[in-house]
Amino acid sequence: MREIDVSQITEAVARMSQSANTDLGQDVIQAFERGLRTEESDTGKAIFKALIQNAMIARDEKVPMCQDTGFAVVFVELGQDAHLVGGSLEAAINEGVRLGYEEGYLRKSICDPFTRANTRDNTPAVVITEIVDGDKIKLTMAPKGGGSENMARVTMLTPSGGKKAVMDFIVQRCQEAGSNPCPPVIVGAAVGGTPEKAAILAKKSLLRPVGAPSPDPELAQMEQELLTRINNLGMGPQGLGGRNYALAVHLEKHPCHIATLPLAVQICCHASRHKEITL
């Protein structure tokens, strides 16, 4: 049994709240550079250039790349042989979010669903915990903005629809989302499980390096086919027309009930932010 003091968790979450929002992953920047090379529309090219410039300003000046610094979603993989001491896990994460968002001049965007009263410190975080082997704790901080979250959908398809229904739904979702989720986007989708399982798997798929194919060859092929179909819609960067609406499609699958075919689609904007640390 290994002891981990939760104050380390608070500190890590505070730090990652800031770094995730100011320091865009190299994989995303490389995807912008690929987009710039393949884009046919002049407006689209100018948008890729602006996004690369934006990411540089954010990194160099330590300011958020987007004003919507998101809902703090924290994935926790807790080793079953680790023992947390010094307080509760959720409270430690929330304290990290509170500190990180305050000290980093990040926007506080969390409110009561009915009164819309702002909680003023961007808490509570959404904490998704998994118990895994080992004695370590892995924390992944993935802030996500409201504009792209609003484009998410979970649907229960009819099993007879099969792959075709799954792919049609994903393509249609992108068409309907249009410019709202700030394309170029990364499309995360998960088939199977239960509605809540699919939603989490789809969200988690967005943590992959942009464009890293699924290890399952069947899914990897579907990802390519989906990417082509989505980009053939012609919506392009920012939905203003062009070749690159999506930078990648990440697809996951999980066994489901004999009567169901759940599908979740989670679209992530180009401000695809996530940082991880293992303690």
* CB distance 210 to 28 below 8 Å: yes
Contact segment (CB under 6 A) with ligand SF4 among 11-19, 144-152, 198-206, 255-263 equals 144-152
Task: State how far the Cα of 265 lies from the Cα of 203, in Å rounded to an integer.
Answer: 8
Q: Is 226 in the site for ligand SF4 (CB under 6 A)?
A: no
Q: Which residue has the tokens 């989670």?
A: 266
H/E stretch holding 200 reads: helix 195-205
Span 187-226, contacts to another protein by CB under 8 A: none
Contact segment (CB under 6 A) with ligand SF4 among 42-50, 142-150, 158-166, 228-236 equals 142-150
* 199 φ/ψ sector (left φ>0, alpha ψ -120 to 50, else beta): alpha
Q: Is 186 in the site for ligand SF4 (CB under 6 A)?
A: no
Edge-to-edge strand list for the sheet holding 185-193: 153-157, 261-268, 185-193, 246-256
230: helix, strand or coil = helix
Min dist. Cβ of residue 100 to another protein (A):
13
* CB distance 142 to 73 below 8 Å: yes
Q: Is 242 in the site for another protein (CB under 8 A)?
A: yes
Q: Is the peptide bond before 64 cis (omega within 30 degrees of 0)?
A: no
Task: State how far the Cα of 66 lies from the Cα of 235, in Å rounded to an integer.
Answer: 22
Nearest to ligand SF4 of 53, 228 (CB atom): 53
Contact segment (CB under 6 A) with ligand SF4 among 80-88, 141-149, 217-225, 255-263 equals 141-149
Q: Is 233 in the site for another protein (CB under 8 A)?
A: yes
Alpha carbons within 13 angstroms on the beta-carbon side of residue 196 total 1
Contact segment (CB under 6 A) with ligand SF4 among 115-123, 145-153, 214-222, 246-254 equals 145-153
Q: Is 99 in the site for ligand SF4 (CB under 6 A)?
A: no
Encoded one letter per residue, x for contact with ligand SF4 by CB under 6 A and - for no contact, window 60-79 reads ------x-x-----------
**Interface residues toward ligand SF4, by CB under 6 A:** 66, 68, 145, 147-148, 181-182, 269, 271
